Amino acid sequence: MIPLFILQASQTATFGAIARFCFGRISPICWGVMPQDLPPHEPDPPARGSQRNMDDRDTGDAHMMRRCFALAIESAKQGEYPYAAIITRNGQVVAESTNRVARDRDVTRHAEVVAISEAQRATGHTSLHDCVIYVNAEPCAFCSYAIRETRIAKLVYGMRSPVMGGVSRWNILGDRVLSDTLPEVFAPPPDIVHDFLCDEADAALRRAAPLAWAFIRRRRLFDTTAQSEAAPDGIRFAHSQRSRARIAMSEPLMRVLRRFFDRFGRGGAT
């Protein structure tokens, strides 16, 4: 989850005021958003992704991502930031969550982290190595580290976050130093599908919180311009076929060692 508002709020500002901002109840000018910056009332644009992702998109991923968009809209209606996460195993939903920062009064309750916690309870394991996580926007650094430590196998997200993202700003999700140095704890980087239905993700945010959408556009917090696999600085699929081949021999052994290590520091075998 990426926080939306990087502003110096007054000492008297309350979380409720921020929530009301999401629904357009506070003057846009107070947040540095001029009326001309607001989205026009027009039909949502058609979905667009990179050609690579358009070719790779399958019905299952598209269904889960659209479910994630609907959850993000619901999150905004609840007065939360408009983010959501869904975790699946073998195509079945294991856990899903909206943001819960406002409800729990806890800034660590990002949608991804809450969903991960619920998935671990549902499966009875700390390792989610056979799971996929869907997020409407690129996970932040905090959530990205949780994804790495739980060994989630695949990440699918819509909008990129060049300011706060755990791939495009700090490449935590694609970093091999973690898994190379501590292979007993960290699995290799997950497969990453970026820019997936990114225009739909952008349109969902615009519907849920139009003023926040305008603010994000003005500050360029998110980027919906689809990029190809060849894009620099980690905006790519984390695993190529070649990298998969390199780890194929050692990965079974590492899974055995991870089960051993998990008995001591993570509450039981995975």
* Radius of gyration for the alpha carbons in the chain, expressed in angstroms and rounded: 19
The values of phi and psi at residue 267, to 5°, are 85, 15
Tokens 């993000």, residue located: 72
Specify the amino acid at residue 110.
H
Helix or strand (DSSP H, E) at 57: none
134-166 as b/e: b if 16+ CB within 10 A: bbbbbbbbbbbbbbbbbbbbbbbbbbbbebbbb
Q: Please report how the helices 198-208 and 59-77 are oriented relative to each other, as an axis angle in degrees rounded to 10.
A: 20
Check if 149 is active-site.
no
Give the separation between CA 212 and CA 109, rounded to whole angstroms: 20
Tokens 């729990």, residue located: 104
- Catalytic one of 112, 149, 184, 251: 112
Q: Is 36 exposed, middle or buried (0-12, 13-18, 19+ CB in 10 A)?
A: exposed
Strand order from edge to edge, sheet including 131-137: 92-98, 84-89, 131-137, 154-159, 191-193
Q: Could you list the active site residues?
A: 112
